[in-house]
């Protein structure tokens, strides 16, 4: 049998119950003949049955690995099996199916998932023929605003009790753009597929997203007295049927299987009924029992997997390795694709019976079909003299994240404070210097047999930034980022990297408390984080922030804000998200990265937003460049979520071309002896990148970002930013910095304004905006009036338009790092880009 080549990604199965979070909620009873569709991260399951057909509706949230049962209302569709099921946005459509033995339906029902309301529809019949007859086992495939119905099986006998099966190969189109919906009988050319039922038909978009995009209906397998294994394509532009010539070894003919379009233009075929004789020589299937009837010996279920490359018209199939995890053989199951993962639930386990019912599989599995996508750009949460707390937007299909760092530049030699701090840090971190043994342990864990003089660091649980709603708006709570799953059978990772110093005998999660560093979820479990901005120099009064950190980075002035941290808030606040198909946005405060804010102003004055911002001038001396031989990437650690406190880094663990097994092993094991730890140094710039890892391997690296550690003595960044919409405008409150926050002389608040020479239809990168000071005062609260807000620039680099503020604290040494706040808006004024 042909197998996947070594250059291709081999799909891998995992049971959802084996993920780090397990499965929660009210799990439905096992069944067969049911169907499912996906809406964003939700999988909606309907119908089927075992001890009778049911009209139950269950929803599985793939982001939370949780089942729930919505409370439905309206004219509910009757319980049915082997029906047509399609979804258009948040509207589900159910057609036909078997409602009892020998009795089939031809009715059409709609379920609006935004309010879980059923309604029976009465579409108009075709102008050139009768409507579809009642049937089961047909395909029902959505293409834009039309649904293509093909084939199935009907009862040709007038009396349902005397069942006479008739296989169909008719083609109908349901136009759902019309009200009421309209059935059509399209004219086609070419030889159509033969009659069949229990086949699959999926939509393939060739050259998707390009002017050359073409759409095809891809039909495979089914049953017509015997199992079928043929593949057909319908060109939806010319409406011409074709049976393409394919290469490779196709899967065994089957019916009651599932098919989805996954990554790489591949159609994945799983399970179903097959012939026993063919299966024994080619498939990984269960053994039959000697006392089964002749019919039962001839047909049985399979758990085999086939992948059809739609571009190359080539079949890839493979045998499971010994001991490889895979679902049990099954037929009549359901499958849906979510973020390149093929989820499979339940199904009939062959001819096995328990009393009067079939034995059905109770488990849910997913097939990882691709490496994870690149995570979001690494963003800065908080900077200190010897650490950088960073964050990135996670990707759903990553189990682990590999964070890497690169030394970018050292502080300028002309800065005495920086030079002294750097010299002291280097002396402490020198190879010859005696380094203490550091043991990091989870909160509450006991430390036994620690080496003499060892430092014990207790890992604290990160908190979450909170949004303060306005007086007339309901309160909401930020939802912590959900950790990604660990692979089946692997060691479950803590939230911090699994790293130890070479001389330590036991490993623990290395890290520190990030009090306000965790990130809430927004827009259906997706964080709306801004693009990271890197520090530029500060000048007196209204300033324009410089571009991203460049090789010719400028010398910082003594009173410049050093680094920055970002939060995101929503205005107006919305109610907390509930588990619905539309996944309403949760109002959250999201931590992310930022740039340096301009600092000093005349004491006690607020600069009007109408004031024209000045540009940043070049400084005379450039920072000292790090030797080019050190310009290589090093490993910070492996993380199971999108937060990382970075105080040191290590030599690379694995090569870029390492196999997925090696990557995951490195992420779940103690580092080998001989690994060198390097501490972060004050006033030094570092670049970051991160990549996700799953069972298929490591995905692409994220976009690079760069941040600087602070110089000693400067105040930290203000934290716990809260925004309230008030009648006067926007009320901002914050808490003092955690370090050097007891001697703050003033705070400065800046508002992002659009450059006067910018075109209104063009979106401006965050690091190219002008910022104008609108507040300076030692009191950690202020109101930004509507008069000032009308000059605000609405940033559209995130999922929603946002107004940007920056807040920094000042002590006797000058301004410290600034906190950037993106205040999310539901709408934006006319004349600004979107």
Three-class SS state of 457: strand
Question: Which domains are present in the chain?
Answer: 378-410+628-708 (2.60.40.10), 719-824 (2.60.40.10)
Q: Is the pLDDT at 649 greater than 80, yes or no?
A: yes
Q: Is 602 helix (H, G, I), strand (E, B) or coil?
A: coil
- Per-residue pLDDT, 417: 58
Answer with the residue of higher pLDDT: 666 or 467: 666
Cα–Cα distances (Å) from 785 to 25, 194, 567, in that order, read 46, 71, 20
Q: How much is the pLDDT for 447?
A: 39
For residue 433, pLDDT over 50 is answered with no
Residue 798's contacts (CB-CB under 8 Å, 6 or more residues apart) are 528, 529, 530, 568, 822, 824
- Which range of 137-141, 579-583, 592-596, 807-811 scores highest in mean pLDDT? It is 137-141
User: Is pTM beyond 0.85 here?
Assistant: no
Q: SS3 for 379?
A: strand
Given a cut of 50, is residue 453 above it in pLDDT? no
| Helix (H) / strand (E) containing 299 | strand 299-301
- Model confidence pLDDT, tens digit, residues 305-356: 999 999 999 999 778 888 899 999 999 999 999 999 999 999 998 776 666 6
Residue 454 exposed, middle or buried by CB count within 10 Å (0-12, 13-18, 19+)? middle
The more confident residue out of 744 and 581 is 744
Separation between Cα atoms, residue 228 and residue 397, nearest integer Å? 34
Who wins on pLDDT, 755 or 469? 755
Cα–Cα distance for residue pair 172/150, rounded to 1 Å: 7
**The pLDDT value given to residue 424:** 62
Asked if residue 148 lies in contact with residue 171, where contact means CB atoms within 8 angstroms, the answer is: yes
Mean pLDDT over each residue of the chain, to the nearest integer: 73
Instruction: Tell me which of 299 and 672 has the higher pLDDT.
Output: 299
Which of the two residues, 245 and 556, has the higher pLDDT score? 245
| Residue 46 pLDDT exceeds 70 | yes
- Range 402-429 average pLDDT: 68
3-state secondary structure of 437: coil
| Range from 300-314, 372-386, 656-670 that averages highest in pLDDT | 300-314
Q: Which residue has the higher pLDDT, 701 or 551?
A: 701
User: Does residue 478 carry a pLDDT above 60?
Assistant: no
Q: Report the 10 Å Cβ neighbour count for 833.
A: 17
Lowest mean pLDDT among 35-44, 278-287, 539-548: 539-548
Q: From the centroid of its chain, how far is CA 198?
A: 33
What was the pLDDT predicted at 547?
Answer: 26
The whole-number pLDDT of residue 497 equals 31
What confidence score (pLDDT) does residue 798 get? 64
H runs (alpha helix) in 338-379: none
Q: Tell me the pLDDT tens digit for each residue of 222-233.
A: 999 899 999 999
- pLDDT attached to residue 44: 98
Q: Kindly state the tokens that stand for 766.
A: 């965050």
Alpha-carbon span 51 to 798, nearest angstrom: 49
- Residue 506 above 50 pLDDT? no
CB neighbour burial string for 47-82, b if at least 16 within 10 angstroms, e if fewer: bbbbeebbbbbbbbbbbbbbbbebebeeebbbbbbb
Which residue would you say has higher pLDDT here, 107 or 500?
107
Residue 824 reports pLDDT greater than 50: yes
Strands 455-459 and 438-442: parallel
Distance CA 828, CA 834 (A): 8
What does the alpha-carbon distance between residue 314 and residue 295 come to, in Å, rounded to a whole number? Answer: 33
For 149-186, b/e burial (b = at least 16 CB within 10 A) is bbbbbbbeeeeeeeeeeebbebbbbbbbeeeebbbbbe
The pLDDT assigned to 767 comes to: 55
Q: What is the pLDDT of residue 393?
A: 85
Nearest to 11 by CA among 248, 321, 220, 249: 321
Which one has a higher pLDDT value, 530 or 81? Answer: 81
pLDDT value at 580 more than 50:
no
């Amino acid at each position: 049998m042909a197998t996947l080549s070594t250059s291709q990604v081999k799909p891998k199965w995992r049971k959802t119950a084996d993920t780090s979070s397990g499965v929660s909620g009210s799990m439905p009873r096992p069944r067969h003949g049911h169907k499912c569709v996906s809406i964003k991260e939700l999988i909606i399951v309907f119908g089927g049955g075992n001890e009778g057909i049911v009209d139950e509706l269950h929803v599985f949230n793939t982001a939370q690995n949780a089942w729930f049962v919505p409370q439905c209302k309206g004219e509910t569709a009757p319980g049915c099996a082997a029906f047509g099921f399609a979804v258009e946005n948040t509207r589900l459509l159910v057609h036909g199916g078997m409602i009892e033995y020998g009795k089939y339906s031809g009715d059409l029902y709609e379920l609006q998932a935004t309010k879980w309301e059923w309604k029976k529809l009465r579409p108009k019949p075709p102008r050139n023929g009768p409507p579809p007859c009642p049937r089961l086992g047909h395909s029902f495939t959505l293409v834009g605003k039309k649904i293509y119905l093909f084939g199935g099986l009907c009862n040709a006998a007038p009396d349902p009790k005397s069942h006479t099966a008739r296989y169909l190969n008719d083609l109908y189109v349901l136009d759902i753009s019309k009200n009421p919906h309209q059935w059509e009988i399209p004219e086609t050319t070419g030889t159509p597929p033969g009659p069949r039922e229990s086949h699959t038909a999926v939509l393939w978009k060739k050259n998707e997203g390009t002017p050359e995009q073409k759409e095809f209906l891809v039909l495979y397998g089914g049953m017509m007295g015997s199992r079928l294994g043929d593949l057909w394509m319908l060109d939806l532009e010319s409406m011409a049927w074709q049976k393409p010539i394919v290469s490779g070894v196709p899967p065994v003919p089957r019916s009651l299987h599932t098919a989805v379009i996954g990554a790489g233009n591949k159609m994945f075929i799983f399970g179903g009924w097959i012939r026993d004789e063919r299966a024994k020589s080619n498939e990984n299937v269960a053994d039959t029992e000697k006392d089964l009837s002749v019919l039962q010996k001839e047909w049985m279920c399979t758990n085999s997997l086939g992948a059809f490359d739609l571009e190359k018209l080539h079949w890839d199939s493979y045998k499971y390795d010994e001991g490889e995890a895979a679902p049990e053989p099954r037929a009549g199951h359901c499958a849906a694709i979510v973020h390149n993962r093929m989820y499979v639930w339940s199904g009939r386990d062959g001819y096995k019976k328990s009393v009067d019912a079939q034995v059905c599989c109770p488990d849910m599995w997913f097939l990882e079909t691709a490496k994870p996508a690149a995570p979001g750009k690494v963003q800065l949460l908080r900077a200190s003299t010897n650490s950088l707390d960073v964050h990135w937007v996670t990707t759903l299909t990553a189990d682990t994240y590999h964070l890497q760092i690169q030394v970018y530049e050292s502080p300028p030699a002309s800065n005495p404070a920086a030079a002294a701090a750097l010299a002291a840090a280097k002396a402490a971190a020198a190879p010859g210097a005696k380094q203490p043994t550091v043991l990091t342990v989870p909160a509450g864990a006991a430390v036994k047999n620690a080496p003499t003089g060892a430092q014990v660091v207790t890992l604290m649980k990160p908190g979450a930034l909170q949004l303060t709603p306005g007086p007339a708006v309901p309160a909401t709570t930020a939802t912590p980022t959900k950790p990604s799953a660990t692979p089946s059978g692997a060691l479950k990772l803590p939230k911090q990297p699994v790293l130890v110093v070479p001389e330590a005998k036991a490993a623990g999660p290395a890290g520190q408390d990030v009090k306000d560093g965790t990130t809430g979820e927004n827009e259906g479990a997706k964080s709306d984080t801004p693009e990271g901005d890197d520090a530029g120099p500060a000048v007196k009064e209204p300033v324009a922030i410089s571009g991203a950190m460049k090789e010719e980075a400028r010398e910082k002035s003594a009173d410049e804000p050093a680094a920055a941290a970002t939060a995101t808030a929503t205005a107006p606040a919305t109610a907390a998200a509930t588990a619905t198909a539309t996944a309403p946005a949760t109002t959250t405060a999201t931590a992310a990265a930022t740039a340096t804010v301009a600092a000093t102003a005349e004491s006690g004055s607020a600069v009007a937003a109408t004031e024209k911002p000045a540009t940043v001038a070049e400084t005379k001396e450039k920072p000292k460049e790090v030797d080019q031989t050190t310009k290589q990437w090093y490993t910070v650690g492996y993380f199971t979520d999108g937060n990382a406190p970075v105080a040191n880094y290590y030599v690379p663990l694995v090569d870029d071309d390492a196999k997925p097994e090696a990557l995951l092993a490195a992420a779940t094991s103690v580092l080998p002896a001989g690994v060198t730890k390097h501490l972060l140094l004050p006033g030094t710039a570092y670049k970051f990148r991160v990549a996700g890892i799953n069972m298929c391997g490591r995905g692409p690296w994220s976009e690079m970002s760069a941040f600087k550690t602070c110089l000693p003595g400067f105040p930290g960044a203000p934290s716990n930013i809260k925004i309230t919409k008030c009648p006067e405008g926007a009320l901002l409150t914050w808490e003092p910095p955690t370090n050097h926050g007891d001697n703050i002389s003033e705070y400065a608040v800046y508002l992002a304004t659009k450059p006067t020479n910018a075109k209104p239809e063009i979106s401006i990168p965050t690091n190219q905006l002008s910022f104008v000071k609108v507040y300076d005062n030692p009191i950690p609260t202020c109101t930004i009036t509507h008069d000032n807000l009308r000059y605000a620039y609405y940033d559209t680099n995130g999922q929603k338009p946002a107004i940007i503020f920056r807040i920094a604290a000042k002590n006797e040494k000058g301004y410290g790092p600034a906190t950037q706040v993106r205040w999310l808006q539901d709408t934006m004024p006319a004349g600004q880009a979107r």
